[in-house]
Amino acid sequence: MPGMPAPDAPKARLRTPLMTAPEPTGERSALAAAVLPALATAVLSGLAVAAVVATGPSGTLAAWGGGVAAALLCAAVALAAHGRRTTRQAHRDLDRMSRDVDRLRHERGLREEEFARERARLNTELASQRTLLTNEYTHERERFTSEVTRLNEANSVLSGQVRQATTARDAAVSVIGNVAGRLQALATGMLAELRAMEERHTDEEVLADLLHLDHRTAQAGRLADSLAVLTGARSGRRWARPIAMESILRGAMGRISGYQRVRVHASSEAAVAGHAAEGVMHALAELLDNAANFSPPTAEVHVYIEEVPSGVIISVEDAGLVMNEVQLRRAEHAVSGAVTDLGGLSGTRLGLAVVGGLARKYGLRVSFRPSSRGGTGVLLLIPHEILTHPARQSAPQPAAAARPDPVSSPRHAAHHPSRPEITPSWSPAAGAATEWDPAAGTPALPAPDAGAAAPPDGTGVLPRRRRGQALAAAEHHRNRAAAAERQPLTPQGRQSTDRP
């Protein structure tokens, strides 16, 4: 406590008289005061004894008696003087100690008064601070309580809105998926009807129009399949048997507008399992469409096929725009299959997201690299889990069932704009190479053409439809007769911006 003496201070003050002993002069004065009376008494006693001895009859006895009396008297006087001196010293020490006690008592009283005042001041300050802090705490608690109540109410409102938005979004996605399924059924039925019309009509102009509608309907079916993939609905059709890789390529080419610019430089004996064939065809169609749309109108898109131990790699090379690092990372993220929310997609950036959804569903792997042709190259890896090799599992085929012409033949691409030629005839074409059963969702075998010749060896190989010459003549006739020439489909006919 401020102002209070240290605990050892009283002891120091009590030891002060002992440390300040009388000065040597004082001691000599006290000694002289004790010795002088004894000397005076001895002198007087000696004189008295001498007088008695001189006047008395027997001097020896009187002398001894007087000496003893004188000695006793001197001792008594010395003791009396010493006692008196000691008594006076004791009185002086007692007075001094009494004064010290009074002084200490007074100082203690002052310290107690100071301590009491300080304690009262601290108690008053503590009470005021406690009252202030209590008021502040009460105010803050009330404010926090009201804020928590407000936040809880806002959270309840937001939670309700989130639930409503989630319900509305799920309902919208469900509706879109339902609409996509209906569009798929309509497209499938329309393709079947167009196929039937193509079988009935022999007029070249009508046939050209039907093939044109066939091609556009196949593209509309691909768009419906894309909506189904993005909404999680059932996408595409399921085939009852594996589909040859050549038919997969032709089917993908027939679903894009720039099919005439696609060149396939290799083929493969592998076939895709029936449950995954439509998904692989759809993913490849999106990649081909993206490459064609971002290439110059006269540039070609080249496709290479390579069998590797892990599956089949399909490489799509274009000479179009080169993606920078940001666009490349965005594209790789889109095709990785990690994007499951439609919130980050725009209306014109759906193709790569569709590829990512199909890759996640069927185990496909898609990667990008710079193309040797100056554009961008895309690698599509089809895993061996969904591949088969019918040629290795079956007996050798006769010579009449040899491989058809290369799929990159410009003649085939020009003569079959909506449905490149497919062999065997049960394989899927550009959305409508075979007849479709809308209810079952599986292709039906087409009826053989009347002019199709049977194989020389009599084996049951299905015939092939060849309409290239009739279609070419029909288009040539229409180009000469029409006032406005119908232009072939180009990438400008579809403004897609799937490439980031």
Question: Of 136 and 53, which is predicted with more confidence?
Answer: 136
Average pLDDT over residues 323-341: 81
Cα 487 from chain centroid? 51
On the question of pLDDT at 326 being above 50, the answer is: yes
Cis previous bond, 57, omega within 30: no
User: Which DSSP state fits 2?
Assistant: T
Condensed to tens digits (0 to 9), the pLDDT of residues 131-174 reads 999 999 999 999 999 999 999 999 999 999 999 988 888 888 88
Rounded distance between C-alpha atoms, residue 422 and residue 249, angstroms: 10
Residue with tokens 């479709």: 436
**Selection from 80-94, 122-136, 177-191 with the highest mean pLDDT:** 122-136
Of 61-75, 134-148, 239-253, 270-284, least confident by mean pLDDT is 61-75
DSSP sequence for 377-408: EEEEEEEGGGEE-HHHHSPPPPGGG---S-TT
Provide the whole-model pTM. Answer: 0.54
On the question of pLDDT at 6 being above 50, the answer is: no
Average pLDDT over residues 107-131: 93
CATH topology of domain 242-391+407-437: Heat Shock Protein 90 (3.30.565)
Rounded distance between C-alpha atoms, residue 51 and residue 47, angstroms: 6
Q: Where are the domains of the chain?
A: 28-172, 242-391+407-437
Condensed to tens digits (0 to 9), the pLDDT of residues 230-258 reads 887 776 677 888 999 999 999 899 888 88
Rounded distance between C-alpha atoms, residue 213 and residue 127, angstroms: 93
On the question of pLDDT at 489 being above 80, the answer is: no
Residue 446 token pair: 């087409």
Q: Are 362 and 381 in contact, with CB atoms under 8 Å apart? A: no
Condensed to tens digits (0 to 9), the pLDDT of residues 175-232 reads 888 888 888 888 888 888 988 998 888 888 888 888 888 888 888 888 888 888 888 7
Q: What is the pLDDT, as a whole number, of residue 331? A: 85
Q: What is the pLDDT, as a whole number, of residue 124? A: 93
Average pLDDT over residues 365-389: 89
Average pLDDT over residues 448-464: 36
Angle formed by the axes of helices 325-335 and 351-362, nearest 10°: 40
